[in-house]
Structure 1
Amino acid sequence: MTNGASTVLMSRVTLGRALRRFRDEVHCGTLAEVADALGCDDSLLSRIENGKRPCSQELLGKLMDLYGVPADQREELAQLQAASTRRRSPWWVKYREFITSSYEQVIAFEDAAESVFECQVGIIPGLLQTEDYARAVTEVGFASLGPDQVDGLVEVRMVRQRRQLFETDQPLQCHYIITEAALNFAVGGRAAHRAQLDHLLDVSEHPGVRLQAIPYSKGAEGCQIAAFRIFTFPGDVPDVAFSESVAGSLTMDDPRELRRLHRLFRSLTGSAFSPGETRDLVARIKNRKD
C-alpha cells in the first residue's frame, strides 16, 4: 500500500528521529548548541528532526561527525537521507490549496501506515463517512470556507477512503472506537443520517475495519475530551499519533505519550461493545429513524 511519496516521508521521519536520539542520548546537546556549533539555524534542525523537511547530504555529514555516529550506522543514515530527498509528487498534491499542513501530514502518515487505532467522540471516523455526512461535518467544522473549498475537502476524504479501503489489495487495518452519541447525531438531516447508519452496517463488515461503540450505559468511561488516532507502520518504524482539536492536529511521537495512548485505547476497547454488538446498536438506532 505504501507508495513512493509515503516512502520519502517515512525515510525523512525515521532519519529525523534517529538524529534526535543521537543528539539527546550521545551528544546531549540542545538544538541551539548544535546549531551554534554548525553555524546554522536551530529552526532548520528542528524541522529536520520532526521530519518536516529533508536534510542535505552535507548537513548530515556534519551532524554525524558532531554526534560521533559509528561507522556501521553512518551508511544506514546515509541511505535514509538519500531516500528522503527523492522527488515524488503525492496523490494529494493537487489538493494543497484546500488542506492545511497539519492535515497533509495526517494524510501522508495514513498513506504509509499499516494500521490505525482511532477514537472519535462526536463524529463518525473519516474513512467511514458517506459523502453527504462528510459534507455536513465539513461545512460546520470549516464554516469560513467557500463551496469550492468544501467540495475539495470532501473529495480528499472520499479519495482517502477508496485508496485505504476499497481500491487496494492491502487495506489499512482500521480499529475504531466511537460513542453511542456519534451514532445518534443526525448529521446532515434525517436522510443523510439514515444513509450513514446503513453505510456503517456495510463497511463494518469490511476485513480491514473493526468498529466498536461505547454505549451510554458506560457513563464516564465514554467521556473522552479529545479525539486521537495512532498510526503503526511496517518494519521498525516508530508509531506516531495525532490528537485532534479545533486548532488542528497535534503530532505526538514521544514514546511515553504513545504508550499512554495505547493504554487508553485498550481501556476504551474494553469498555465498548464488541463489533457484533456495535452493529446491533447501529441497526437499532437506524430502525428508530425509520
Structure 2
Amino acid sequence: MALAEAQPKRRRRRKSVQRDAVPDWFRRFLALEWDATEIRSYEIDNVPGLLQTEDYARSTITTWEPEADQRLIDRQVETRMDRKVVLKRTGRPSLRLEVVLSEAALRRVQGSYAIMRAQLRHLAASAKRPNITLRILPLDAPDRITMPSPFQLFRLAEQNFSTVYLEDLFGATYLKEADEFTQYSIVFGRLRDAALDPDESRRFLDKMVESYR
C-alpha cells in the first residue's frame, strides 16, 4: 500500500458560514431611514420597527423564523433596536416620523399580554415626543378606504429625493417616480384624515392597555 494511501484521510473542514442579520435588500432601507428627514408610515398588523419594544421585536422575529439560531435572532433584535437612534440624532436635520396605525395591530396579540401591555405603553410615551405623530385608525371608522398592505413614504430633504417603500415575502420595492409618490401621499392623507387625532389616539392607547391586564 502506498504511503499516501496508508495515511488516514483528512476530513475537509466546512467553512463557517455566518448568515447576515441584515439581508442585502434591507441595507438600502436602513440607509434611507438614516438619511430621511421625514417618514410617513401606514401599518396594518404590526407596530412600526422604530417604535417597537425589544420584547415585541424579539417575538415578531421569532414568529417569522421559529427555527432560527438564537444568535441570529439576537443580532436581528439588536439591529432593530439600534435603528431607533435616528429619532434622536443631532447635528443633522432631525427626522420627523408620522404613523397611521390600524387598530388591528393593537388587538392582535404578539407574544403575550405582558408584551402587548408594555408595547402599548411605549407607543403612548413615544407619541408624546415632538418629532413623532401617531394616529390610530379605528376598525369602526366609517367609510374609510382600505389598503391591502402597509407602506412607507421617505423624504430626504438634503438629497432632494423621495420614494415609496413596499415590502413583501421576497424583498422590497422602491417607487421613485413623482406620480407614484404623489399617489401614495394622497392615500396616506386620506388614511390620516380617517384616523383619530394624536390626543384621541393616546387616550385610545391608554384604554387598550387596560384590556391587556
Q: Which of the five TM-score ranges fits, normalised by the shorter chain?
A: 0.7 to 0.9
Q: Is the 8 A contact 1:179 1:222 kept in 2?
A: no
1:266: how far off? 0.6
Q: Secondary structure at the match of 2:149?
A: coil
Q: How far apart, in 2, do the equivalents of 1:219 and 1:124 lie?
A: 23
Query: Structure 2 length normalisation: TM-score?
Result: 0.85
- CA offset at residue 185 of structure 1? 1.6
Residue 212 of structure 2 aligns with an amino acid whose one-letter code is K
Structure 1 runs not aligned, ≥5 long? 1-94
Contact 2:19 2:72 in 1 (8 A): no
2:201 aligned residue: 278
Partner amino acid, structure 2, of 1:223? T
> Are 1:261 and 2:184 an aligned pair?
yes
Q: Deviation digits for residues 100-138 of structure 1, max 9, x if unmatched?
A: 112111000111110101111001011000000001111
Give the aligned partner of residue 237 of structure 1.
Answer: 160
CA distance in 1, matches of 2:197, 2:130: 15
What SS class does the counterpart of residue 158 from structure 1 fall into?
Answer: helix
Paired residue type of 1:106: F
**2: distance between equivalents of 1:154 and 1:106?**
16
C-alpha contact (below 8 Å) 2:114/2:212 kept by paired residues: no
Residues 160-207 of structure 1, C-alpha deviations (whole Å, 9 max, x = no match): 11x112354654100001101111122110111100011111111011
Residue equivalent to 1:246: 169
Give % identity.
26
> Aligned equivalents of 1:222 and 1:192: distance in 2?
30
Shift of 1:219: 5.6
Structure 1 letter corresponding to 2:88 = F
Larger helix proportion of the pair: 1
CA-based RMSD: 1.9
Partner of 2:10: none
* Aligned-partner Cα distance in 2 for 1:143–1:168: 37
The question of 1:202 aligning with 2:125 is answered yes
Alignment partner, residue 87 of structure 2: 165
TM-score by length of 1: 0.63
Residue matched to 1:125: 48
SS across alignment from 2:140: helix
Relative to structure 1, is the Cα distance of residues 150 and 222 closer, same or farther in structure 2, using a 3 angstrom cutoff?
A: farther
Alignment CA distance shift 1:150-1:252 (3 Å): same
1:9-54: CA deviations, max 9, x gaps? Answer: xxxxxxxxxxxxxxxxxxxxxxxxxxxxxxxxxxxxxxxxxxxxxx
Residue 102 of structure 2 is matched in structure 1 by: 179
Q: Which residue of 2 aligns with 1:18?
A: none
Equivalents in 2 of 1:219, 1:142: separation in Å?
37
Higher relative contact order (CA 8 A, sep 6+): 2
